[in-house]
Structure 1
Amino acid sequence: MDKQQTMNLFSPSGYAMPFEADENTPIEVARKHGRYTNERTGEEGFFHGMDFRVRRGTWLKALATGIVSGISSDTQKGFSLIVNYPNYADGKRSSYDVTYSHISEAVCNFGKNVKAGDNIARCDGLLHIEVRFNGEETDPLEFLTMIRDNLIVNSQTDMSGANPEIATLDFDVHTPYDAQQGEIDQLMMRYFGSYMTDLLKGNYHVPGNTERDLRDVIAEGARGGAYYEHTPSMLNPLGLGQRSFSIIERVQTILITDFLNYLALMHRVFLSSMSEIEKKKLLTGL
């Protein structure tokens, strides 16, 4: 299992965001992680971590199953608390260390075991978070996005009776079938179950050229760095981002084409917009 795969944190107790916010109170990011230029002096620098403005006294939460691994204080960041979140997916060989700074009080002692959603400290109005993965600095926004995605998958799984497939990524990608997408969605609702069943039972065989095209596109994406643009999560296990859009579009086109091929061969069902020549081509493979 490589580093990029193990960055998707698995937590037995689930996941939680770092603090609770009122629905009517927008989350205010005071400063982002990364390079910056001082507007007054023009000097460049690098900001380690991420700052949030929250109400004084806001409870800070454990993000996942972990252990309080450090408590410290300094003149710049004030009172800080560190929680180590091991990844249970790889036997705890990898882990995240999350530092919460500018806290007014900690309610967890050193060595305390915590689970997702536990109160661990109170904030003094400005929350500074730093994240390290196996000791290497990581953008907190990437980490918190991963936590949020895993939280979405877990909550939707619970709501849907252990069906995690209702949580999906919403990418703005397009295929040659965009104009017929509504009709295709209806056909999938009716026939997708039988499509998968016939694939598994061997009643329908994916054409060799379709398998080859799919492998080629996926391999091309790996060579071109289309994957792991972001920290992987349950919702986005390959860390897909804008770099992968063209790959996603081509994969979707291949999969939709194969589904239409299945409908023609196994059910004699065609898109209403297809001409007789297109129908014949599907039936004969010519």
Structure 2
Amino acid sequence: TLTHHAGIDFKAEHGTPILATGDGVVAKVDVDRNNGQYIDIEHASGFTTRYAHVSSFAVKAGEQVKRGQTIANVGNTGRSTSAHLHYEIRYQGIPINPLQALMPLDNKQVVSSVVTPQGKVTTYEYRVNN
């Protein structure tokens, strides 16, 4: 049976650092059966990001985070078959496709930042012309 999948998965080595995709406040650091260990970050303008299946946390609820800050490490917790990051973006509580999302972050729009096992940071950005 297929189930709704509200985000995208980034396969990565267990323990790979996970970076916040935007400035915000850690709203939740929790665990549940499906997401395993996860973090929710509230951003400006009604956006929330979720980072799920993490192996360990580097932040606590209520903490301010900056874009590019390490917030957790990739894991295989919850309903998962291998190490990966499950990443979601919600706008006013409604899931949106992270590959099409344009979260307002100053004068830029960021989709995701990923650190490879070799330490290379890949950031997917869209610029807004004002």
TM-score w.r.t. structure 2 length? 0.70
Query: 1:234: which partner in 2?
Result: 127
> Which has the higher Rg, Structure 1 or Structure 2?
1
Q: Select the residue among 43, 53, 58 that pairs with 2:16.
A: 58
1:68 counterpart residue number = 26
* Mapped partners of 1:139, 1:53: distance in 2: 18
* Structure having the larger proportion of residues in strand: 2
Counterpart check, 1:122 vs 2:73: yes
Of 63, 67, 72, which aligns to 1:112? Answer: 63
What's 1:133 paired with? 91
Shift of 1:72: 1.3
Give ranges in structure 1 of 5+ residues lacking alignment: 1-42, 87-93, 153-232, 238-286
Cα distance, 1:103 vs structure 2: 0.1
Q: Secondary structure at the match of 2:25?
A: strand
- Quick one: structure 1 residues 69 and 137, their matched pair in 2 at CA, closer, same or farther if it must change by over 3 Å? same
Question: Which sections of structure 2, spanning at least 5 residues, go unmatched?
Answer: 76-82, 111-125
**Matched-pair contact (CA < 8 Å) for 2:109–2:128:** no
What is the alpha-carbon distance in structure 1 between the residues aligned to residue 17 and residue 41 of structure 2?
15
CA positional deviation for 1:46? 2.9
Higher relative contact order (CA 8 A, sep 6+): 2
**Aligned to 1:143, what secondary structure does the other structure show?**
coil
Distance 1:236 1:142 in 2: 17
One-letter code aligned to 1:57: G
Name the counterpart of 1:143. 101
1:188-227 → structure 2 map (5 Å cutoff)? none
Q: Distance in 2 between matches of 1:109 and 1:70?
A: 8
TM-score, reference length from structure 1? 0.34
Aligned residue identity for 1:98? T
Would you say how many aligned residue pairs link Structure 1 and Structure 2?
A: 107
Change in 2 beyond 3 A, CA 1:54/1:144: farther
Residue 186 (structure 1) aligns with: none
